């Protein structure tokens, strides 16, 4: 994966700030953390950088809750006021999600529709012991495919408005197999729900039968109410897969894995290794563990200390992720880089073919989707816009083949 816009010199300038962010995002004893924070503050810190990176990486509540707990006086007065205000609003938002979760669970129970919440407040409680220490912008719900139509109708009757046209869900199981969720918003337009019937898209998903997930659920207590939750093994594998699918674009996803691991005293690593290997996710979980080791010095368990984890390709991926997460400005992972990165994480030939086909379809969509350049060449009224799908190939051929014919040795690089 290549990110030419990253500046290694600029990254070295913020090593102390990065160390502070990681120290506060880790699970440390308060006295030990206080000593470490004091030594880092005495070296001088760029608080604007810490604020920006923490927020962009969705670890803002985790970092600043730790700072306010062990060393509140270290924060400049103006920054402290802003932080307290944002934390107050963040806490209110998260508790609003918790309230929605309880109402939805009660609603689904009344119709005997099993529903599972994952990530969001449940992960916050399970991994961090507090529903306010994670940043999330929606509530993820999972139902079995056989209950999908009833779940959609139930949410609509309860006043949740679909942000995706849902009529097509009932028409074709083939279409459903290519999708994974539909989004809803509440009456106030403040709370987003994502209704899933599988945990991930087919090109980079968990090849696990949904019934197996439902049979292995565990109960998690939130405010005296026991809610179903993914089993520890399934949740760990899913978090590693989710992070890898999105190229680990947020530090918070690495923190989730780290804190989840620390929430269990005994972990059956042999079974996790066997399950991940059987699912074709061995590399995915190995990368997640490598990142937790890199950022938080978590010892990689023996079953995953395989040559793959120590491969140079992993070193490059981990280094690239670190540079991107802490870059002064947000860095977008390019489509081609994401493609090659996903390929490296797939062990089985059939899974690599899925990746090839997925990105081939993606490239074709990009190539064939009309843009402003096509509309500038031929002016058509809005009702004739579908014609641009016909004129676009002609425009592309004219734009790119004509110069190459007249200037065979000249390469033309333009936006298509």
pLDDT mean values, one per 10 residues, the chain (416 residues): 48 86 92 91 90 96 94 88 93 93 94 93 94 93 90 92 70 53 87 87 62 86 90 94 92 97 94 89 91 92 67 83 92 84 82 81 73 75 72 70 52 46
Task: Please report the pLDDT score of residue 280 as a whole number.
Answer: 84
Q: pLDDT for 109-122, tens place per residue?
A: 999 999 999 999 99
Strand, helix or coil for residue 265: coil
Task: Please report the pLDDT score of residue 211 as a whole number.
Answer: 64
Which residue spans within 109-262 are E strands per DSSP?
116-118, 138-142, 161-162, 181-185, 192-196, 218-222, 225-229
Task: Please report the pLDDT score of residue 387 as a whole number.
Answer: 72
Residue 48 CB-density burial (10 A; 0-12 exposed, 13-18 middle, 19+ buried): exposed
Question: Among the residues of 180-311, which ranges form H helices?
Answer: 210-215, 232-245, 251-262, 269-278, 282-296
Task: Please report the pLDDT score of residue 2 as a whole number.
Answer: 45
Q: How does DSSP classify residue 378?
A: S
CA dihedral sign of residues 26, 28, 32, 33: positive
The conformational region for residue 63 under phi > 0 = left, psi -120 to 50 = alpha, else beta, is alpha
Task: Please report the pLDDT score of residue 9 as a whole number.
Answer: 47
Task: Please report the pLDDT score of residue 308 as a whole number.
Answer: 53
Tokens (6 digits) for 225: 């109410």
Q: pLDDT for 249-263, tens place per residue?
A: 999 999 999 999 999
Q: Please enumerate in sequence order all residues whose Cβ is within 8 A of that of 117, keeping only pairs 6 or more positions apart, or say none.
A: 101, 104, 105, 139, 140, 141, 142, 227, 229
Task: Please report the pLDDT score of residue 29 as a whole number.
Answer: 87
The conformational region for residue 162 under phi > 0 = left, psi -120 to 50 = alpha, else beta, is beta
CB-CB neighbours of 324 under 10 Å: 19
Task: Please report the pLDDT score of residue 281 as a whole number.
Answer: 85
pTM: 0.84
């Amino acid at each position: 994966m290549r990110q030419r816009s990253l500046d290694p010199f600029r990254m070295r300038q913020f090593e102390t700030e990065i160390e502070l962010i990681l120290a506060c995002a880790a699970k440390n004893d308060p006295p030990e953390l206080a000593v470490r924070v004091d030594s880092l503050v005495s070296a001088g810190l760029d608080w604007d950088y810490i604020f920006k990176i923490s927020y962009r990486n969705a670890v803002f509540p985790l970092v600043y809750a730790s700072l306010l707990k062990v060393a509140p006086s270290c924060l400049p007065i103006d920054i402290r006021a802003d932080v307290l205000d944002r934390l107050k609003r963040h806490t209110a938002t998260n508790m609003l999600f918790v309230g929605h979760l309880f109402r939805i669970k009660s609603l689904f129970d009344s119709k005997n529709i099993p529903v599972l919440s994952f990530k969001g407040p449940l992960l916050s409680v399970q991994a961090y012991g507090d529903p306010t220490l994670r940043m999330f912008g929606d509530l993820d719900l999972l139902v079995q495919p056989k209950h999908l139509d009833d779940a959609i109708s139930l949410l609509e009757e309860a006043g949740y408005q679909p942000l995706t046209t849902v009529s097509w869900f009932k028409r074709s199981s083939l279409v459903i197999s290519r999708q994974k969720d539909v989004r809803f918003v509440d009456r106030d337009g403040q709370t987003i729900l994502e209704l899933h019937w599988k945990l991930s898209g087919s090109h980079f998903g968990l090849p696990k039968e949904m019934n197996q997930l439902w049979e292995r659920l565990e109960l998690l207590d939130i405010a005296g109410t026991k809610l179903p939750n993914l089993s520890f093994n399934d949740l760990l594998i899913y978090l590693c897969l989710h992070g890898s699918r999105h190229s680990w674009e947020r530090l918070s996803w690495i923190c989730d894995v780290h804190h989840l691991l620390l929430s269990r005293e005994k972990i059956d690593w042999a079974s996790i290794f066997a399950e991940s290997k059987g699912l074709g996710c061995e590399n995915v979980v190995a990368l997640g563990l490598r990142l937790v080791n890199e950022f938080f010095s978590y010892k990689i368990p023996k079953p995953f200390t395989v040559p793959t984890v120590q491969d140079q390709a992993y070193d490059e991926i981990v280094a690239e992720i670190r540079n991107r997460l802490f870059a002064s400005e947000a860095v977008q992972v390019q489509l081609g880089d994401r493609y090659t990165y996903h390929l490296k994480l797939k062990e089985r030939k059939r899974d690599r073919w899925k990746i090839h086909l997925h990105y081939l379809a993606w490239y074709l969509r990009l190539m064939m989707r009309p843009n402003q350049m096509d509309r500038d060449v031929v002016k058509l009224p809005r009702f004739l816009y579908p014609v641009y799908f016909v004129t676009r190939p002609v425009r592309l051929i004219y734009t790119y083949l004509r110069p190459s014919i007249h200037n065979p040795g000249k390469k033309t690089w333009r936006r298509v």
